[in-house]
Amino acid sequence: MINDSFGSDNHSGVHTEILKAMEKVNVGFSIAYGDDEYTKRAIEKFYEHFGREIDVYFLYNGTATNILGLKAVVDSFNSIICAETAHLNVHECCGPEKFIGCKLTTIKTDDGKLTVEKIKPYLTGFGDPHVAQPKVISITQPTELGTLYSVKEIKKLADFAHKNKMLLHVDGARLSNAAAALNLGFKEITKDAGVDLLSFGGTKNGMMFGEAVVFFDKKLSKNFEYIRKQGMQLASKMRYISAQFEAFLSNDLWLKNAKHANEMAKLLYEKIKNITEIKVTQKVECNAVFVMIPKKYIPTIRSKYFFHVFDEMNSIARFMCSYNTTRKDVIVLSEIIKKAVLEK
Amino acid sequence: MINDSFGSDNHSGVHTEILKAMEKVNVGFSIAYGDDEYTKRAIEKFYEHFGREIDVYFLYNGTATNILGLKAVVDSFNSIICAETAHLNVHECCGPEKFIGCKLTTIKTDDGKLTVEKIKPYLTGFGDPHVAQPKVISITQPTELGTLYSVKEIKKLADFAHKNKMLLHVDGARLSNAAAALNLGFKEITKDAGVDLLSFGGTKNGMMFGEAVVFFDKKLSKNFEYIRKQGMQLASKMRYISAQFEAFLSNDLWLKNAKHANEMAKLLYEKIKNITEIKVTQKVECNAVFVMIPKKYIPTIRSKYFFHVFDEMNSIARFMCSYNTTRKDVIVLSEIIKKAVLEK
Amino acid sequence: MINDSFGSDNHSGVHTEILKAMEKVNVGFSIAYGDDEYTKRAIEKFYEHFGREIDVYFLYNGTATNILGLKAVVDSFNSIICAETAHLNVHECCGPEKFIGCKLTTIKTDDGKLTVEKIKPYLTGFGDPHVAQPKVISITQPTELGTLYSVKEIKKLADFAHKNKMLLHVDGARLSNAAAALNLGFKEITKDAGVDLLSFGGTKNGMMFGEAVVFFDKKLSKNFEYIRKQGMQLASKMRYISAQFEAFLSNDLWLKNAKHANEMAKLLYEKIKNITEIKVTQKVECNAVFVMIPKKYIPTIRSKYFFHVFDEMNSIARFMCSYNTTRKDVIVLSEIIKKAVLEK
Amino acid sequence: MINDSFGSDNHSGVHTEILKAMEKVNVGFSIAYGDDEYTKRAIEKFYEHFGREIDVYFLYNGTATNILGLKAVVDSFNSIICAETAHLNVHECCGPEKFIGCKLTTIKTDDGKLTVEKIKPYLTGFGDPHVAQPKVISITQPTELGTLYSVKEIKKLADFAHKNKMLLHVDGARLSNAAAALNLGFKEITKDAGVDLLSFGGTKNGMMFGEAVVFFDKKLSKNFEYIRKQGMQLASKMRYISAQFEAFLSNDLWLKNAKHANEMAKLLYEKIKNITEIKVTQKVECNAVFVMIPKKYIPTIRSKYFFHVFDEMNSIARFMCSYNTTRKDVIVLSEIIKKAVLEK
């Protein structure tokens, strides 16, 4: 049997604290669709972390969180600027285009990160009805390539967006890993840095399902209840999402989980960085390690540990660590890689 | 504190057998998005119940199951014929229109049931490009008014649909209750009766979340994987839906749950049918009891047991029973109703 | 050869005054997409008729004018209330659903006219995210059944709409015929009566192509330039629409054309109203005559003059008169009808 | 007054032969929506040029022709590969995304032309439901940069598309100019080269309005009548589009017009190619001349002749010639450019 500890952080199971929290709310009847006490408590937790001037909504998954959050602030004739590697662009099967009607304007990057300089040339056609009107800059934090935006970098993008009457969206499917890596709170790396709306992830850091859209300006969310329902993402038995978020955001569970995942990635990096036949292609700042491995070695390694080849053309593998990736698995994997490469 | 045992069958918690099954699969890593062993086993259970010539996909909720299933077989220039009371029409916030682009042609009924006679006048404009082309007849089994289609009635609708090159869709959010009431298997009341595609519900009968689209003709589902993903309904940690369905479809759990809910509705009906001030407005065939109660009595009753006033204009209350509605609650409720009405 | 003078008012050709106006602007180069002098002049004509507080946009056809105008004021989670017979509902191939995403809530009527009383039962679910939110009442003036709303009736609907935070839209594909019949100006029967936005028709009253969306509140139109372009309705050589509208709205051309069409319908009515075998089913208030004619007579009559059988089930024919329907054709048609019926 | 002979080929008026043809059909009544004799005759003309195995539909404008033609063959979960400069991508206000739901995958080019080599890296993710499925390669002939594909180049792209189970679409808004430049017939540069569907333009070469979708495989067009109507592009008085196309495709009118426009562009090129301060940036193969002109000279030149600055950042002007651009205007323009540049 293949071990897939490094396939993705959503190959992990549910953290026991979270599962316990779900069991705990499984008593009696409870009003559906989020008007229950458990959901109020979970929202209170979001207030603790982000302040009370937010509007937060729970959804089933990350793709929907991105698409429906953006739908709330983007018209069909708008464009969203994002990196070519953005999940929004690559892995949502043109859901944004389908559900919003808008265009994604994609920008090539080496590290998955947008900068003001890279965006500038694409901000044309304001006021010209032939041209999709730029409305949102969407960044992923950490990026799909495991890299991080500093608070300063986010602020710069936010200022630039606002100067152009645009908004800054953060796809934070792994925001916990970013906060842990930056050693900062959620609010400091989002609201305080000028972010306008956030996709906040739970599933990739120990939850079973459930993500949240966080609006930092309540004017942006005024229609979101309808958008969520029409967008097929209003959970009837909401309490089971809420219970997860309450546990996730209590007692630093999110932080412990994220820190561990990040550390495992760092450890893997340390163990393999000196193998000359392979090459780590991105900074290891969170819980992912991207490694160029000659094609011939891949089957051997993969026969022991499952992982995704992220970039087939350049034979770049992605090793993703999770809250429950063990130190032992990391070490064994690094040895398998070493052995595969040397044996050849 | 108000007891809401009769608010909706999705106010219930998760059946302990199902919760146990979810805990059981919470071990180690598992490939995401449905390529896992647990999902294979759950699909196998569907084969047991429906035969192997089906294609089945798991989604998060019922609204999505209806909309995305229909999206697979309906073009944007098509119309779907349904009852005016259909969930599809009333309670999905025009999600079908938004996501499919199509028209819902709605038909007034007294009991929530469509018939060939009622549909016929609406089947016009075939071949006329100005007119939305009728493509699907969608029925709910049991209906939103708690009534049931017999197998014969379904067959008649299916034959009629096929004769007109249309398809028959069943919204089976509560299909278990129908099967239990008809004392028949799932296959007998769907595939064998000519149904082409089915929204199969779990959440309203003891599951936490998770519904299924069942295609009875594999040609209909050929693009469904893309539709599900684009439709924001592909669960990453799929095993937790699959585990639920496996338990739900094993050891007659679905049947026991549904039977009990149906019995509680019958019991409530027996207890209140002779109260002259109120009137049961629909046949009690499954787990719902619709009762016209003069407006003035409603606050008193509702202060003890939560329920929905389904039709404000005619003051018709809906009492929905669930797998965990207790005999005691039914009796207490019936006494509260009696008392409220007599005291006046 | 069959004469189709009564098929539809869009079977007519282009009025010579209008064709001349098009030829007149066919000189040299002209900036495209509406930034030209001809378009400014045509808009000035709209100001003359409707006052200057309007925003007006030219489009190719009536279907687009309805759909895109409504798109400007309706969100995807909204519903539009209209008569079951509305062009919007019956003859736009679910374009409104596709392009706006919204629901059409349709109301049965005998004469194609909505009233406050008929609408009231459908205004439910405000604030409930499961339910499409009512946003617009859309009426057709004159209706698809040739009947007319009085100014008083429109005012009542407008007040009712506004009281419910909704808007009143008028599909005025034949608004000229209504104004002519009511002996009032365009402004009096729209803006002054509380209408919020208008689809203003030209093609059915002597133009070649070209319709206009008129917004009576500029806040409603703020994104319309993008909506029109994205909606595939921005004409490059706009001057040829503008020239038509300028001529149409000058020297009472619209009025003369409409009056004549209305008179021809009245004449037809007078000539056939006493034939006992047939029955005029709607008031003849504009340019349409609806007549129940037993099925057996229809082929004979139709072999001389083309017309549409509007309602196959009840065998109701529609005779539509146009600006160039001749008195002679009306008389000959009436005689053919008489003869067909008597010969039997 | 500014002369805008070089602004765009849609700043031209209507060719007199075409206007005459429109007047000629302006007699009596004619069945609407394309079921008329004039439309049959126009379609016959298309058969003459493209062979009889085609399906052709008339629409109002080019944006719609691209979007609705592609809608017929593309599902919402598909992607369309096109050049970053494609009209489809830049100048249709994300209409393709809105109306089809699909993704445009855009490729950077220097000359507006796609090649197999450029496309290859983007053809990934076939069969992966997370990824938009590539379905169409869309090229513009001649390109938005005035360059031409040879028949050999088109064939290569068509073969490549078909090998990948994709289709080749040609945006032929200016196809006449391409055919004239290549000295080939329409069929030779489309159907015979493997093109699957074509947007065929008329407006930019002397028509008033009206474009056509040509399907080279009738299976592709089976739903197009509904798509056109729902897409708000079914003209009621169709005869006025048909009459234009009949004239356009008769007596080599299209060819004479296109040849002249091409010649004028060549002439302009000859006149300015040796001015050292400016630089022609694209091959002049059809009717457009792209010239890098230092920013400071532009106002002077533009005060005499209107033209678009196509690329603000690099100060690249586009001079577009038309069927009625005069030799004199070309010479005067070239002298103005020369003078502006020298005077500085």
E strand segments, B173-275: 197-201, 211-215
Q: What is the mean pLDDT of residues C81-95?
A: 98
Contacting chains of A (3 CB pairs or more, <8 Å) are: B, C, D
Question: pTM above 0.95?
Answer: yes
Predicted pLDDT at D291: 98
Mean of per-residue pLDDT scores for chain C: 96
Which of C75, C129, C229 is the closest to A129 by Cβ?
C229
Residues of B within 8 A of C117 (CB-CB) are: none
User: Which residue's structure tokens are 């009107």?
Assistant: A133
Check A209 against B67: CB less than 8 A apart: no
Predicted pLDDT at C342: 84
- Per DSSP, the residues of C226-253 read HHHHHTT---TTTHHHHHHHHHHTSTTH
Check B132 against C76: CB less than 8 A apart: no
Angle at D25 between CA C261 and CA D37, to 5 degrees: 100
Check D228 against B76: CB less than 8 A apart: no
Is the pLDDT assigned to residue C1 strictly greater than 70? no
How deeply is A217 buried, as exposed, middle or buried, from its count of CB atoms within 10 A (0-12, 13-18, 19+)? middle
Question: What are the C-alpha distances in Å from D200 to residues A112, C196, D58, D139?
Answer: 40, 39, 9, 13
Q: What is the mean pLDDT of residues C9-33?
A: 95
pLDDT in tens, C272-327: 999 999 999 999 999 999 999 999 999 999 999 999 999 988 999 999 999 999 99
Q: What is the mean pLDDT of residues D1-12?
A: 84
Q: Using CA atoms, how far apart are residues C56 and C69, in angstroms rounded to an integer?
A: 10
Neighbours of B312 (CB within 10 A): 9
Q: Which two tokens stand for residue C135?
A: 């946003």
- B115-123: Cβ within 8 A, 24+ apart: B115/B153, B115/B156, B115/B157, B116/B156, B116/B157, B116/B160, B119/B81, B119/B157, B119/B160, B121/C313, B122/B81, B123/B81, B123/B164
Residue D212 phi, psi (nearest 5): -135, 145
Between chain A and chain D, the number of residue pairs with CB atoms below 8 A apart is 64
Mutation to test the B interface, candidates A25, A236, A307, A320, most B Cβ within 10 Å: A236
Predicted pLDDT at D344: 56
Whether the CB-CB separation of C249 and C48 falls below 8 Å is answered with yes
Q: How far is CA A223 from the centre of its chain?
A: 24
Predicted pLDDT at D1: 55
Whether the CB-CB separation of B9 and B180 falls below 8 Å is answered with no
Check C93 against D68: CB less than 8 A apart: no
Mutation to test the D interface, candidates B35, B55, B58, B76, most D Cβ within 10 Å: B76
Neighbours of C119 (CB within 10 A): 20
Closest of A154, A156, A162 to residue A179, by C-alpha: A154
Residues of A within 8 A of B322 (CB-CB) are: 29
Angle at D201 between CA D199 and CA D207, to 5 degrees: 155
Is the pLDDT assigned to residue B200 strictly greater than 60? yes
Residues of C within 8 A of B313 (CB-CB) are: 121
Give every CB contact of residue C6 below 8 A, 6+ residues apart in sequence.
Answer: C305, C306, C307, C319, C320, C321, C325, C329, C333
H-state helical runs in B183-252: 186-189, 224-230, 239-248
Mean of per-residue pLDDT scores for chain A: 96
Q: Using CA atoms, how far apart are residues D327 and D332, in angstroms rounded to an integer?
A: 9
| Window from A249-258, C303-312, D13-22 with minimum mean pLDDT | C303-312
Contacting chains of C (3 CB pairs or more, <8 Å) are: A, B, D
Q: How confident is the model at residue D343 (pLDDT cuts 50, 70, 90)?
A: confident
Q: Which two tokens stand for residue C156?
A: 């009542």
How deeply is C269 buried, as exposed, middle or buried, from its count of CB atoms within 10 A (0-12, 13-18, 19+)? middle
Residues of A within 8 A of D93 (CB-CB) are: 77, 129-132
Tell me the percentage of chain C whose pLDDT exceeds 70. 99
Q: Using CA atoms, how far apart are residues D157 and D166, in angstroms rounded to an integer?
A: 10
Q: Using CA atoms, how far apart are residues A141 and B104, in angstroms rounded to an integer?
A: 41
Predicted pLDDT at A1: 55
**Closest CA of chain B from A328, distance in Å:** 14
Which of C129, C225, C226 is the closest to A226 by Cβ?
C129
Mutation to test the A interface, candidates B91, B236, B305, B324, most A Cβ within 10 Å: B236
By a Cβ cutoff of 8 Å, what residues of chain A touch chain D? 76-79, 89-94, 97-98, 101-104, 106, 121, 124, 129-132, 312-313
Residues of C within 8 A of A101 (CB-CB) are: 230
Q: What is the mean pLDDT of residues A55-77?
A: 98
Residues of C within 8 A of D92 (CB-CB) are: 229-230, 232
Q: What is the mean pLDDT of residues B82-86?
A: 98
Q: Which two tokens stand for residue B186?
A: 């799932």
Residues in chain C: 344
Q: Which CATH number fits domain C253-343: 3.40.50.720, 2.40.128.110, 3.90.1150.10, 3.40.640.10?
A: 3.90.1150.10
Is the pLDDT assigned to residue A344 strictly greater than 70? no
Is the pLDDT assigned to residue D213 strictly greater than 80? yes
Question: What are the C-alpha distances in Å from A197 to residues A46, C75, C316?
Answer: 14, 21, 57
Pairing of strands A279-280, A288-292: antiparallel
Residues in chain B: 344
Whether the CB-CB separation of A304 and A5 falls below 8 Å is answered with no
Q: What is the mean pLDDT of residues C178-200?
A: 98
Q: Using CA atoms, how far apart are residues A64 and A81, in angstroms rounded to an integer?
A: 18
Domain boundaries defined on chain B: 16-248, 253-343
The architecture (CATH level 2) of B16-248 comes to 3-Layer(aba) Sandwich (3.40)
Q: How far is CA C306 from the centre of its chain?
A: 21
Between chain C and chain D, the number of residue pairs with CB atoms below 8 A apart is 162
Is the pLDDT assigned to residue C111 strictly greater than 60? yes
**Closest CA of chain A from C2, distance in Å:** 44
Check B306 against A14: CB less than 8 A apart: no
By a Cβ cutoff of 8 Å, what residues of chain C touch chain B? 76-79, 89-94, 97-99, 101-104, 106, 121, 124, 129-132, 312-313
Q: Using CA atoms, how far apart are residues B190 and B97, in angstroms rounded to an integer?
A: 25
Q: Using CA atoms, how far apart are residues A153 and C85, in angstroms rounded to an integer?
A: 57
Q: Using CA atoms, how far apart are residues C153 and A323, in angstroms rounded to an integer?
A: 67
Predicted pLDDT at A4: 80
Q: Which two tokens stand for residue A266?
A: 């760092």
Q: How confident is the model at residue B4 (pLDDT cuts 50, 70, 90)?
A: confident
Pairing of strands C211-215, C55-59: antiparallel
* Nearest residue in B to D130, CA atom: B229
pLDDT in tens, A298-342: 999 999 999 999 998 899 999 999 999 999 999 999 999 999 998
β-sheet bridge partners, residue A80: A104, A136
Q: How confident is the model at residue C252 (pLDDT cuts 50, 70, 90)?
A: very high
Residues of C within 8 A of A230 (CB-CB) are: 76-77, 101
Check D223 against B130: CB less than 8 A apart: no
Give a three-class secondary structure readout of C83-138.
ECCCHHHHCCCCHHHHHHCCEEEEECCCCCCCCHHHHHHHCCCCCCCCCCEEEEEE
Check A75 against C234: CB less than 8 A apart: no
Whether the CB-CB separation of B235 and A60 falls below 8 Å is answered with yes
First CA to last CA distance, chain C: 24
Residues of B within 8 A of D133 (CB-CB) are: 226
ipTM of the predicted assembly exceeds 0.95: yes
By a Cβ cutoff of 8 Å, what residues of chain D touch chain A? 76-79, 89-94, 97-99, 101-104, 106, 121, 124, 129-132, 312-313
* Nearest residue in B to C134, CA atom: B93
Q: Using CA atoms, how far apart are residues A228 and A211, in angstroms rounded to an integer?
A: 12
Predicted pLDDT at D180: 98
Check B230 against D77: CB less than 8 A apart: yes
Q: How confident is the model at residue D3 (pLDDT cuts 50, 70, 90)?
A: confident
Whether the CB-CB separation of D161 and D177 falls below 8 Å is answered with no
Is the pLDDT assigned to residue C3 strictly greater than 90? no
E strand segments, A93-152: 103-107, 133-140
The kind and range of the H/E element at B170 are: strand B167-172
Check A94 against D103: CB less than 8 A apart: yes
Predicted pLDDT at C344: 56
Residues of A within 8 A of C223 (CB-CB) are: 75, 77
Which of B11, B203, B230 is the closest to A94 by Cβ?
B230
